[in-house]
Chain A
Amino acid sequence: MVDLVDRSHRFAFVRDVATRWDLVAIVVVIGLLTFFAEASRGLFEPLLKLSSEPLSLDPVNLPFYAARTTLRMFAALALSLAFTFTYATWAAKSARAEKLLVPILDILQSVPILGFISITVVFFMSLVPGRVLGAEFAAIFAIFTSQAWNMAFSFYQSLRTVPHELEDAAASFRLSPWMRFWRLEVPFAMPALLWNMMMSMSGSWFFVVASESISVGHTNIALPGVGSYIALAIEQGSLRAIGWAIATMFIVILLYDQLIFRPLVVWGDRFRFDQEQGGHVPESWALTMLQRSRLMTALRAVFNAIIRWTSRKAPRPQLLLTATVTATRVGRRADLLWYLLLVLVIALAVWRIARMLIGETTWHEAAQVAGLATLTMLRVMVLIALASVVWVPIGIWVGLRPRATQIVQPVAQFLAAFPANLLFPLAVYGIVTWKLNPDVWLSPLMILGTQWYILFNVIAGAAAMPTELRYAAQNLGLRGFLWWRKVALPGVLPYYVTGAITASGGSWNAAIVAELASWRNVQVKAHGLGAYIAEATTAGDFHRIILGIATMSLFVVAINRSFWRPLYYFAERKYRLS
């Protein structure tokens, strides 16, 4: 009976020297190390070098560019994770902070982050003047802003829904807060967090393309990376180079999906809280490899040792519950102070913004911007409606056929990850060649990348429809319009709404790049808030950037609150099949 648990460790190094899986694992790990070494080369070189060593469209450079870009994305992901663990935890643990932090997160989640890039670039460049590092920070920060919010939100929601009995068990076995965090809260949040990390990674490609090559006013920065490569290709009008870039991205997405996310998702499956043996167990060859190699066992032991060691060092749990009770009594006064402070901070912020805008912009301009925002809103709504008409029936058709789902679902998810801004040059080319109206024909670009959210959510909804329900509908002889109206559409509604919200938010963001697109030296412009912000960015006019972003944020938040959110709750309450 003794030592059963530790036996694997003891005999591990005696058995044989190396299994096949160990060899593969070593190759992969060394490969990763090389990649990091390659990618971080040149970080500390002065900015001048960037201009003396210009980017080249030669595809030979693409692996290096791709490595740099990927490194940036993962650096941003690590940052997002750090942000998630601190910000979301604070929001979930402190009722006082929660009141402020959660709405902030909600707003950040729905405002057009793309508009902020120009502002942050200047900030980071001034932090590390004259060095590439500043531009790197700016790019990483831009990518971070496209990844962090939904991760933090998911983590916050998980923390709020930790089952009571597990919390009681943790308390009754006197786990310290630190131990609780790593042994209960993080594992519980893991599946949702992983899923959101994947979504974030996909979404951030769009920003990579937009953030690596930035020009604010007179400053032009092009960091080596796929995004800059694409920008250069657009500038020089090289369709071939665009093709190479697309191929590179495809390979990179495939690689990190297979090597990193699939293993993570499979591994994360063990943290699912519903205790029943799941029907569908995801698989990953990379995880199998890692698990069968001893390297992983060793790594895991190290990780556990760290948790154990830090748990030992962490303060012991408070024995006195009464402390918290007196805290709530004292809390009244602290609450008052806290709110007072908040009011002050908000007043200060309003004053600063107002002063900045009032001096430089007029009511006339504000009204004009509101008009432009209405135009963009109209575009987004029409496009979402059109995309829904196309993709909902197709999604339902696919979702009800398991074999079709298996083929279409990954493709749709890949297309959602694919940065649609890569295809913009083609559209500009078309508009210029056939002399089309940009107000109409630039619009589809806004939804090019985001429509897939509708498709794959609807597919998921249709696939999740209970088989018995479908049989019952068949048995009752429901078909045609009646079937769509009473069975299919209500069945996928909650999923559709989720997809449409994501698509709508993404489209607003995309407006900033889609309403003002260029190919070589030709620029095509549609009337809208996106074009306004893009133009202000190019001109380095911060007053107009802020006015534009503030207006867009207001519109997005207002639409979310008045339309999407009620619709979401309605769909969840009435149509969620559980």
Chain B
Amino acid sequence: MNTAPELVTAQLLAVENVCKSFPKPDGGELLVLEHVNLALKAGQIVGLLGRSGSGKSTLLRLIAGLDEPSSGDLAFRGAPIAGCASGIAMVFQSFALFPWLTVYENVALGLEAQHMEKAAIRKRSLAAIDLIGLDGFESAYPRELSGGMRQRVGFARALVVHPDILLMDEPFSALDVLTAETLRTDFLDLWAEGQMPIKGVILVTHNIEEAVLMCDRILVFGSNPGRILSEIDVTLPQPRKRLDPTFRELVEKIYVEMTSRRSGDARSARSERIPGSGIGSVLPRVSSNLLAGLVETVAAPPFNGTADLPKIASDLQMEIDELFPVAETLQMMRFAEVEGGDIKLTPEGMSFANSDLHGRKQIFARHLLNYVPLAAHIRRVLDERASHAARKSRFIDELEDFMGENDAEQTLRAVISLARYAEAFAYDDANEMFSLENPV
């Protein structure tokens, strides 16, 4: 598609060597984006695909001018981005409509901010509303609308300012499956027909199929710190069919890419080399029900211990953002191996699946204390103390050497949840104290 020489000059957006870090409470810096490069040319939809925490939304905010990079350059039409540019509009995951304004007023707001004439505002707003299929809803308030209609308002509001680049931050993820598909198709139709006043699109998503369905190029993001793992050009002609074997192949390939070892937590791999540490990895909060549920599902026929992740995801109707943390926690606890887009139970995983509740808890406790360094660390501290008790803040402080405030809180919460299921140690939230009051 980008063969003609004039398209090279039509480079809309250039992101070069961008890093972004946030200050940590202890004064250090937490790196969330590392050396990211991206180019958007006219006529392209570029997808930023990754799990939450991979920095893709941060990158989108940088492009939107809502935030600025720690280092590196962002240029829109050759000029550096500083603040919100008028040629870039955004569609939000949660719609972000003003609930006290009608559909029409919501759409017109962006033009009012540009101090346009009233008549021109009306003409353009009504045209956008018309284009996006909201005819007849002009005087409705957002609360009267369904999620799908609300997001249409979100699209109309972004398109009305005639942006060159449309930024979409997981625009379909708050919608139900059917509505999301309708909106995607409608959007792609308008895009293909060239009816929208936009030249390029950046789509943030954690839905692999959505990325393959909509994008011309996909940038796969890895986490901790957020970075681009690979770039995949999608050359399938539009409209694409989900059941097309080439489509499935591409989805499978991205699954493999995203479950490969190097996609995971780069920082924890680094810290693991330092002897005696290893508590530095951010743990996702995963319910023990989900862990047990996934083990059972994979152990049972038709999978019998080895399952294809895309298949499991569609069977269980889980997004990768929900499925991957569960699979990775199982991997961390050596109940499963995740590699090449497959999940394979270890012998211990199989025996966990086949045990009763009591047996499961024993196996779980053993694995938790053996393979989750933070859990082992907490248990060791509690064992060593005469009082068998320790403050939460003690561990939070330790974790914050490795991660941000929120991640530290989340990680500790995750370990507490796992430890409670394993009955490895107790935690009293009212006093914020760990103890051994009801050990195994």
* A residues apposed to B, CB below 8 Å: 1-6, 163, 165-166, 168-169, 171-176, 179, 183-184, 187, 190, 270-273, 275-277, 308, 311-312, 316-322, 325, 574
Could you say which residues of chain A place their CB within 8 Å of the CB of B29? Answer: none
Could you say which residues of chain B place their CB within 8 Å of the CB of A277? Answer: 143-144
8 Å CB interface, B335-352 against A? none
Q: Confirm or deny: B393 has a beta carbon within 8 angstroms of a beta carbon on chain A.
A: no
B98 contact from A166, A276, A316, A574, Cβ within 8 A:
A166
Tally of A-B residue pairs with Cβ under 8 A? 108
Q: Confirm or deny: B65 has a beta carbon within 8 angstroms of a beta carbon on chain A.
A: yes
Asked whether A275 and B142 contact (CB < 8 A) given A171-B84, A179-B113, the answer is yes
B430 contact from A1, A318, A322, A574, Cβ within 8 A:
A574
Supply 9 A–B pairs (Cβ within 8 Å), ascending by A: A1-B135, A165-B94, A168-B66, A173-B84, A175-B113, A277-B144, A319-B83, A319-B85, A321-B82
CB distance from A499 to the nearest CB of B (A): 24
Asked whether A179 and B112 contact (CB < 8 A) given A168-B92, A275-B99, the answer is yes
Asked whether A321 and B68 contact (CB < 8 A) given A171-B84, A275-B99, A574-B430, the answer is yes
CB distance from B90 to the nearest CB of A (A): 5
**B64 & A172 in contact (Cβ 8 Å cutoff):** yes
A2 contact from B65, B86, B126, Cβ within 8 A:
B126
8 Å CB interface, B100-139 against A? 100-101, 104, 109-110, 112-115, 118, 122, 126, 130, 135-136, 138-139
**B113 & A174 in contact (Cβ 8 Å cutoff):** yes
Could you say which residues of chain A place their CB within 8 Å of the CB of B64? Answer: 168, 172
Q: Confirm or deny: B96 has a beta carbon within 8 angstroms of a beta carbon on chain A.
A: yes
Report Cα–Cα, A312/B430, bound state, in Å.
Answer: 53
**A173 & B89 in contact (Cβ 8 Å cutoff):** yes
Asked whether A4 and B126 contact (CB < 8 A) given A277-B144, A320-B82, A325-B68, the answer is yes
Residues 365-385 of chain B, each 1 if its beta carbon lies under 8 Å from chain A, else 0: 000000000000000000000
Asked whether A1 and B130 contact (CB < 8 A) given A174-B86, A270-B100, A321-B68, the answer is yes
**A166 & B68 in contact (Cβ 8 Å cutoff):** no
Could you say which residues of chain B place their CB within 8 Å of the CB of A312? Answer: 115
CB distance from B415 to the nearest CB of A (A): 21
**A318 & B122 in contact (Cβ 8 Å cutoff):** no
Report Cα–Cα, A316/B70, bound state, in Å.
Answer: 26
Report Cα–Cα, A2/B127, bound state, in Å.
Answer: 9
8 Å CB interface, B48-90 against A? 61, 64-68, 82-86, 88-90
Could you say which residues of chain B place their CB within 8 Å of the CB of A171? Answer: 65-66, 84
**A168 & B96 in contact (Cβ 8 Å cutoff):** yes
**B65 & A169 in contact (Cβ 8 Å cutoff):** no
Asked whether A183 and B84 contact (CB < 8 A) given A172-B66, A172-B90, the answer is no
Q: Confirm or deny: B162 has a beta carbon within 8 angstroms of a beta carbon on chain A.
A: no
Which residue of A3, A6, A175 has the most chain B CB atoms within 10 A of its CB atom?
Answer: A175
Asked whether A275 and B138 contact (CB < 8 A) given A6-B122, A171-B84, A320-B83, the answer is no
Q: Confirm or deny: B161 has a beta carbon within 8 angstroms of a beta carbon on chain A.
A: yes
Asked whether A322 and B66 contact (CB < 8 A) given A2-B126, A174-B114, A308-B112, the answer is no
Q: Confirm or deny: B227 has a beta carbon within 8 angstroms of a beta carbon on chain A.
A: no
Could you say which residues of chain A place their CB within 8 Å of the CB of B65? Answer: 171-172, 321
CB distance from A233 to the nearest CB of B (A): 46
In the complex, residue of chain A having the shortest beta-carbon distance to the beta carbon of B86: A174
B122 contact from A5, A165, A172, Cβ within 8 A:
A5
In the complex, residue of chain B having the shortest beta-carbon distance to the beta carbon of A316: B115
Could you say which residues of chain B place their CB within 8 Å of the CB of A176? Answer: 113
A174 contact from B84, B143, B144, Cβ within 8 A:
B84
Which residue of B94, B118, B150 has the most chain A CB atoms within 10 A of its CB atom?
Answer: B94
User: What 8 A-B pairs come out closest when comparing CB atoms?
Assistant: A173-B110, A165-B96, A169-B96, A187-B100, A319-B83, A321-B83, A275-B143, A172-B90
In the complex, residue of chain B having the shortest beta-carbon distance to the beta carbon of A268: B100
In the complex, residue of chain A having the shortest beta-carbon distance to the beta carbon of B136: A4
Which residue of B82, B84, B85 has the most chain A CB atoms within 10 A of its CB atom?
Answer: B84
CB distance from A271 to the nearest CB of B (A): 5
CB distance from A140 to the nearest CB of B (A): 31
